[in-house]
Amino acid sequence: MTATTDGSTGALPPRAPSAGDATAENTENTENAPAAATDVAAAARRAAARATDYLLSVQDDAGWWKGDLETNVTMDAEDLLLRQFLGIGDRETTEAAARHLRGEQRADGTWATFYNGPGELSATIEAYVALRLAGDAPDAAHMARAATWIREHGGIAASRVFTRIWLALFGWWKWSDLPELPPELIYFPKWFPLNIYDFACWARQTIVALTIVSAVRPVRPAPFALDELHADPARPNPPRPLAPVTSWDGIFQRLDKALHGYRKVAVRGLRRSAMKAAASWIVERQENDGCWGGIQPPAVYSIIALHLLGYDLKHPVLREGLKSLDRFAVWREDADGAPVRMIEACQSPVWDTCLAAIALADAGLPADHPQLVKAAEWMLAEQIRRPGDWSVRKPRLPSGGWAFEFENDNYPDIDDTAEVVLALRRIQYPDPERVDSAVRRAARWTLGMQSRNGAWGAFDADNTSPFPNRLPFCDFGEVIDPPSADVTAHVVEMAADLGMTHDARVRRGIRWLLAEQEPDGSWFGRWGTNYVYGTGSVLPALAAAGIPASHPAVRRAVRWLERVQNEDGGWGEDQRSYQDKAWAGRGESTASQTAWALMALLAAGERESAAVTRGVRWLARTQRADGSWDEPYFTGTGFPWDFSINYHLYRQVFPLTALGRYVNGGPAGASQGV
């Protein structure tokens, strides 16, 4: 693979071997095949044993697992900007964050949003501004390179709306040049287009807070100017052409102009009342740990919004909110022993714990092993039994799901719930009735969250309005939560494990999955990268549901996985596949993506195939001496392309799952029923 001048990998993805390729790994001598198979099996057993020991060693004493959740430097930059805005910055925190920012800068002066990705304008602007707040001089070499690149790519005017909101807080951008977001939105009835429940839960929490910020339009005096980041300082915000009025973009552009006009005539009493209602909505959704939704961005904007409405920083709501933000900080030391501070956008203990339990059980750890029992105890205590925002669309559905984070009772998600059920069913807990009761509640809630098309989204049912994504304000990431193949597959797999394959809701989900297969045989992966993840999720679910390995959809998927296998025997897929289908299934081999491909092929009955043998060899060969794997590449997804994630535990749990299934012949307890 070639390198470009921006430091990213070349424009063309790595070539996967064709069917006619002859390599040392896929053209084994037939006479030696039994011995070679024995060697591979032995290597797999050794690797699984080492990986098991490693995973057990990193469990918390309370029973949970959590790996770092690495995203991009906008989290760190916005944390420093928040502290500057509130006047609570301190030198130690600022310097530690600045070390992290400098360490993530690339040779061309830019910052990327995923490992080896291209420079990204908004991330580069935010990191640059944060470093200036930390004291880095604009004429320093690393800062000058960044500023030059920013200007060459359109300057601040070309950045996304959220970046310009942060700059507006300090007077570096005009509030009047931003899209309008009125707080009166809080009063829109649930049936009305663009009501807050038309937005996905993560966008909803952010937007309600930002309606207050947008209405107040605060400005804290900036400590310096940013003229060096404008492509043309004399015209920092050149006019943007209007789209045709007959297009959706044109309609919403004109709607935004109308909202700017409404601001001038808005009834003050109504606006004050709307902001008060929005504030009450925010406060009601603060979690026990002080955070909002267990996610850093909504917490940041909620704190700003409430502070603008008069909440003192010592008020219990803001005091606990600020404390919660400190829990997103990961502290390390650099090569010189100086402290480095990275901010997680979110934390994933429930997700990591259920995946770790599945991996250990599938690898052959006894079902009553004390550490599995401790994990089950912790997961059982995390089940949510009260309504959340999801109940707006499902008011008569009893609760029973799990969230992703330590504290997030308002927003349990279908994906976590399905995987927690699969994990609990693999563990021999001393109080089986407690597990059965929790599983029954979870299954009822999960199946009840089915969307009208037969599939499942992550947090809400039928969160598919076409309007939120059209708003000029929403130019970054997904703001709705439509059903996806990976989440639907996990629900189908859970239902099959519970003996519910013939349930009409499950059959509809299976039909939807079969209809959603891509022409090349893969499935799109919404929450993991990307087609390898989607396919790695769907094939095990179809197998669990009784779809035979000979089914045409399964065979198409197998052929696709074989085509995109890398020459080294692994699988990989770059985040660029979300923008360019040429990257589908293409990228440097990674432990997690190789494991997903192996899980799919094993479910399709391909254990003895050359592709599986080569994949298992790759995992065994790349394992580190301590039983772990290294994986700098981002294989998780928050928003396809816009927000990528490196889950640091993915590189451990998924390879162990794949190796365990290869060694032991399938998922633990796969034949259980209820």
> What is the per-residue pLDDT across 508-542, written as a single tens digit (0 to 9) for each?
999 999 999 999 999 999 999 999 999 999 999 99
Assign 251 a pLDDT band (cuts: 50, 70, 90). Answer: confident
Checking if the pLDDT of 631 tops 80, the result is yes
Checking if the pLDDT of 252 tops 90, the result is no
| Identity of residue 198 | D
User: Mean pLDDT, the chain, as a whole number?
Assistant: 93
Those residues with Cβ within 8 angstroms of residue 401's Cβ, 6 or more apart along the chain or in another chain: 383, 384, 412, 413, 414, 416, 417, 442, 445, 446, 449
Those residues with Cβ within 8 angstroms of residue 625's Cβ, 6 or more apart along the chain or in another chain: none
Average pLDDT over residues 15-41: 51
Average pLDDT over residues 130-148: 98
Return the pLDDT at 671.
Answer: 43
Task: Say how far apart CA 499 and CA 546 lie, in whole Å.
Answer: 11
**59, 51 Cβ separation under 8 angstroms:** no
Return the pLDDT at 600.
Answer: 98
Return the pLDDT at 248.
Answer: 82
Return the pLDDT at 30.
Answer: 41
Burial of 428 from C-beta contacts in 10 A (0-12 / 13-18 / 19+) = middle
Neighbours of 550 (CB within 10 A): 9
Active site residues: 415
Return the pLDDT at 33.
Answer: 54
Task: Say how far apart CA 276 and CA 208 lie, in whole Å.
Answer: 11
Assign 27 a pLDDT band (cuts: 50, 70, 90). Answer: very low
Return the pLDDT at 2.
Answer: 36
Task: Say how far apart CA 655 and CA 219 lie, in whole Å.
Answer: 50
Token match 């591979």: residue? 40
**DSSP string for 376-435:** HHHHHHT---S--GGGGT-TTPPP--B-SSSS-TT--BHHHHHHHHHHHTTS--S-HHHH
Burial of 29 from C-beta contacts in 10 A (0-12 / 13-18 / 19+) = exposed
Measure CA 45 to chain center.
31
Distances (CA, A) of 575 to 6, 114, 513: 17, 8, 23
The domains located in the chain, with CATH, are 37-69+346-465+481-664 (1.50.10.20), 72-343 (1.50.10.20)
Return the pLDDT at 21.
Answer: 38
Smallest Cα–Cα separation from 412: which of 451, 352, 459, 479? 459
Task: List the structure tokens of 235.
Answer: 């015209």
Question: pLDDT tens digits for 370-410?
Answer: 999 999 999 999 999 999 999 999 999 999 999 999 999 99
> 190 or 21: whose pLDDT is higher?
190
Question: pLDDT tens digits for 474-483?
Answer: 888 899 999 9
> What value does the CA radius of gyration of the chain take, rounded to a whole number of Å?
25
Task: Tell me the whole-structure pTM to 2 decimals.
Answer: 0.93
Return the pLDDT at 235.
Answer: 86
| Coil, helix or strand at residue 645 | strand
Return the pLDDT at 566.
Answer: 98
Assign 9 a pLDDT band (cuts: 50, 70, 90). Answer: very low
Those residues with Cβ within 8 angstroms of residue 78's Cβ, 6 or more apart along the chain or in another chain: 126, 166, 297, 300
Task: Say how far apart CA 122 and CA 307 lie, in whole Å.
Answer: 26
Distances (CA, A) of 377 to 63, 124, 484, 521: 7, 44, 30, 40
Return the pLDDT at 475.
Answer: 84
Crossing angle of helices 91-104 and 74-86, rounded to 10°: 150
Distances (CA, A) of 654 to 370, 593, 658, 663, 668: 21, 8, 6, 14, 14
Return the pLDDT at 474.
Answer: 83
Checking if the pLDDT of 205 tops 80, the result is yes
Token match 């509030």: residue? 175
Percent of the chain having pLDDT more than 90? 87
Task: List the structure tokens of 112.
Answer: 């990327």
Return the pLDDT at 240.
Answer: 78
Return the pLDDT at 37.
Answer: 67
Return the pLDDT at 36.
Answer: 66
Assign 58 a pLDDT band (cuts: 50, 70, 90). Answer: very high
Return the pLDDT at 343.
Answer: 97
Return the pLDDT at 237.
Answer: 83
Return the pLDDT at 239.
Answer: 79
Assign 25 a pLDDT band (cuts: 50, 70, 90). Answer: very low
